[in-house]
Amino acid sequence: MSNEPIIRAEKLCCDFGHTTALRELNLTVNRGELFGLVGPDGAGKTTVMRILAGILPPTSGNAWVDGVSVKDSPEQIKEHIAYMPQRFGLYSDLTVMENLIFYADLFRVPKSERARRIDRLFEFSRLGPFQQRYAGALSGGMKQKLALACALIHSPRLLLLDEPTNGVDPVSRRDFWRILNDLLREGISILVSTAYLDEAERTHRVGLMNKGTLIRCGDPRALKTSIRGNFLELVTSHMAQAKEILGNLPEVLDLNLFGEGLHIGLDEDADPRTIRRLLEERGIEVLSLRPIRPTVEDVFLSLMRHEESDA
């Protein structure tokens, strides 16, 4: 993987009236890299995507996509990228094939190249058997695959994906990420935003965003080892009471709900056995208490909590 960046943003700011969407964001994405932007709604992920796609001008700062300035030459950027927003413009009354041909026309793909490219897109998306089906009749996952195929029809160098798996079923999410890894092997660089923090585990590097700022950036594995203390997973039928009790202990650094379990971040010097003993003394039945490795979500929630405490 080359260290030459395909995306470089310096002190990128964006204001909407009195609302600040981005605050002096610095970001670098290397060529051949799969970079993830994760964070809650309103963190600024879509604003970053729209600026890098040349759609939205920054209030201040600048960014370069494949060496082209978003401030000086936003139209030139569009020749190098594929941008798939949250609501991609598929035409429900056109078939899968007709949508692809329509986007090939928009991107001025030479007719001599179209058949080869469309066959290749059908191969990795597995949409070939459905090419005569109307887009409006496709499942959510298949619509996302078609949107991605349409975005790729002009063979871009960079793919910008804004929450592409939002609302998609787990099987389709897995298939979509398989396609992204295939694209990486073909040399396409990818910047993907997501609200699913488990998807951050699949990236080369991840940027954690909150309130328009990049609060941490790095390899997901390195981020998980950077968090303080030891982590336990507690399962109990009295989750709310357990969380309230443990939240008052000085040795408990973090408490995060995960499905039916509670992730507990403990100070390194704390004895995990005291957690079980305290809960049982308070009449809380402990169904399971075991050591775990922190997830990227644990890291993100911990960073957000400490950031708010510092503020």
Please provide the DSSP assignment of 277-297 as one string.
HHHHHTT--EEEEEEEPPPHH
More confident residue, 115 or 86: 115
What's the predicted TM-score (pTM) here?
A: 0.84
pLDDT of 199 strictly over 90: no
pLDDT of 248 strictly over 70: yes
Buried b (16+ CB within 10 A) or exposed e, 156-173: bebbbbbbbbeebeeebb
Are 165 and 173 a contacting pair, CB within 8 Å? Answer: yes
Dist. CA 33–CA 307, nearest whole Å: 28
Are 216 and 299 a contacting pair, CB within 8 Å? Answer: yes
Are 101 and 108 a contacting pair, CB within 8 Å? Answer: no
Average the pLDDT over 68-72 and give the result: 94
Dist. CA 274–CA 233, nearest whole Å: 14
Q: What is the pLDDT of residues 2-11, one digit of tens each?
A: 457 999 999 9
Q: Which domains does the chain have, with CATH numbers?
A: 5-215 (3.40.50.300), 228-293 (3.30.70.100)
Write down the pLDDT at residue 235.
94
Contacts of 286 (CB under 8 A, 6+ apart): 234, 235, 236, 276, 279, 280
Q: How many Cβ atoms sit within 10 Å of the Cβ of residue 72? A: 9
Q: What is the pLDDT of residues 76-107, one digit of tens each?
A: 998 889 999 988 788 999 999 999 999 999 98
Are 155 and 183 a contacting pair, CB within 8 Å? Answer: no
Q: What is the pLDDT of residues 129-164, one digit of tens each?
A: 999 999 999 998 899 999 999 999 998 999 999 999
Write down the pLDDT at residue 87.
81
Are 193 and 38 a contacting pair, CB within 8 Å? Answer: yes
Nearest to 34 by CA among 161, 151, 213, 156: 161
Average the pLDDT over 161-182 and give the result: 88
Write down the pLDDT at residue 118.
94
Dist. CA 207–CA 230, nearest whole Å: 23
| Token output for 101 | 């041909």
Average pLDDT value over all residues in the chain: 90
Residues listed for the chain: 311
**Alpha carbon 243 to chain centroid, angstroms:** 29
Phi/psi of residue 79, nearest 5 degrees: -75, -25
pLDDT of 291 strictly over 80: yes
